[in-house]
Amino acid sequence: MGAVIVGRFRVRQAGHIVDRDANYEALVLAEQIGASGGRRLEISRSLDMDEQDRRLALDTHSMVNEQGATVYGAIAEWRLSGVVLSIDLTVPARDLLGVDGYELTLESGRVDVGVVRSALDSIVGESLGGTWKRY
């Protein structure tokens, strides 16, 4: 087994978006404030899944990084301890993104930890003792 590769960055801006007209919900975690560039993750899901989504295995969350790489069902497990968000990835996500997971530090005073937790609960599922459940 090789070394564990963890993507790390300080989250200086975070936003939880729910757009019923566009049928999606997303949590965006960004290193840069109000500018393009820098590291970022967008974790999202469709609000209403249809039969085609289920048939194509798209009836789950997706994760997109700053390079545009997208993986459905990327998150195997997540934990939020204080201001540190740890995300463990599924094998397909590891293969595509080139990391085993992420350790993100939410900048105090800029990022609302409660909003991040609530968004992850809604998009991915509740963290339960280090594992998550899908609704």
- pLDDT band for 2, please (50, 70, 90 cuts): low
Looking from the CA of 41 toward its CB, the CA atoms found within 13 Å total 28
Please name which of 5, 7, 11, 8 lies closest in space to residue 120, comparing C-alpha atoms: 11
105 within 8 A of 13, measured Cβ to Cβ:
no
The alpha helices in the chain, defined as continuous H runs, are 51-55, 91-97, 113-123
What's the pLDDT score for residue 58?
Answer: 61
Q: List pLDDT tens digits, range 79-132.
A: 999 999 999 999 999 999 999 999 999 999 999 999 999 999 999 985 434 444
C-alpha dist (Å) from residue 83 to 39, 113, 114: 18, 7, 10
- pLDDT band for 18, please (50, 70, 90 cuts): very high
What's the pLDDT score for residue 131?
Answer: 46
Residues 63, 65, 69, 74, Cα dihedral to 10°: -30
Task: Kindly report the number of other CB atoms within 10 A of residue 101's CB atom.
Answer: 21
**Rounded distance, CA 31 to CA 34, Å?**
10
- Find the mean pLDDT for residues 8-32: 94
- Higher model confidence: residue 19 or residue 133? 19
**Rounded distance, CA 3 to CA 43, Å?**
25
25 within 8 A of 41, measured Cβ to Cβ:
no
Q: List pLDDT tens digits, range 39-89.
A: 999 999 888 777 766 666 566 789 999 999 999 889 999 999 999 999 999
Asked if pLDDT for residue 34 goes beyond 90, the answer is: no
What's the pLDDT score for residue 126?
Answer: 53
Task: Compute CA 130 distance to the chain's CA centroid, rounded to the nearest angstrom.
Answer: 15
